[in-house]
Amino acid sequence: MGLGTNTWMKQTTYENLRKIAHKICKSDDNTDDLMHDVLIQLQSNKVYNTLSEKDKVFFFIKAMKNQYYSNHSQYHKTYRKYIFQEIPINYDPKDQPFDELPTLDWITETLDGELVSNPNFWYNHGIYNLYLQHRKLEVIHRLTKIPRYSLRMTLREMKEWLNYKWEIYKNYEE
């Protein structure tokens, strides 16, 4: 049951549908594959098989457009969703520096060390420890009744301060 032979449709009809498919898909390399997929689907479609030859062309056009332009069609899943690029023969992967992130132990040590050397750090220390425990600003607000804006500003300052301390720590290790 070949699609390009006289067993299912005439050669001229096939060529006309092929031209229409290339107009719809413009310069897509997979146009013929899409066209054949649509023709296979239409071959078993009861509505399509009862239409006149002229109406079959319009039905085909609509099916092609739906398949080609839809982001959820089988065509999209098969041909567009996963586009793999070929790796050149002389491909040399470059080493990228590993940016290590601070551990939770390092953060608590740093906070505790700062609290020992600076007793006025108790507020920031307490807020950040609550943040490490609960991870939600709303929970900290309900527990402490401190305004959200103030908590947000304190956490932002603490994150910047910890990033600064982390950079010093990393540079000291190197």
Residues 109, 167 within the same domain: yes
Give domain status of residue 95, yes or no: no
* Residues 137/152, Cβ–Cβ less than 8 Å: yes
Res 12: pLDDT:
86
Greatest pairwise CA separation for the chain in angstroms: 91
Task: Give the integer Cα–Cα distance in Å for 127 and 154.
Answer: 8
Residues 16, 75 within the same domain: yes
Give domain status of residue 91, yes or no: no
Domain that holds residue 113: 104-173
* Residues 83/40, Cβ–Cβ less than 8 Å: no
Alpha helices in the chain (DSSP H): 11-25, 31-43, 46-50, 53-69, 74-75, 104-117, 122-134, 137-144, 148-173
Res 96: pLDDT:
66
Residues 121, 70 within the same domain: no
Query: Could you tell me the mean pLDDT of each successive run of 10 residues in the chain, 174 residues long?
Result: 54 89 85 89 89 90 90 80 67 70 91 93 94 93 94 94 91 72
Res 8: pLDDT:
62
Cα-based angle 157, 160, 164 (whole degrees, multiple of 5):
135
How many domains, in total, are found in the chain? Answer: 2
Give domain status of residue 94, yes or no: no
What is the crossing angle of helices 53-69 and 31-43, to 10°? 130
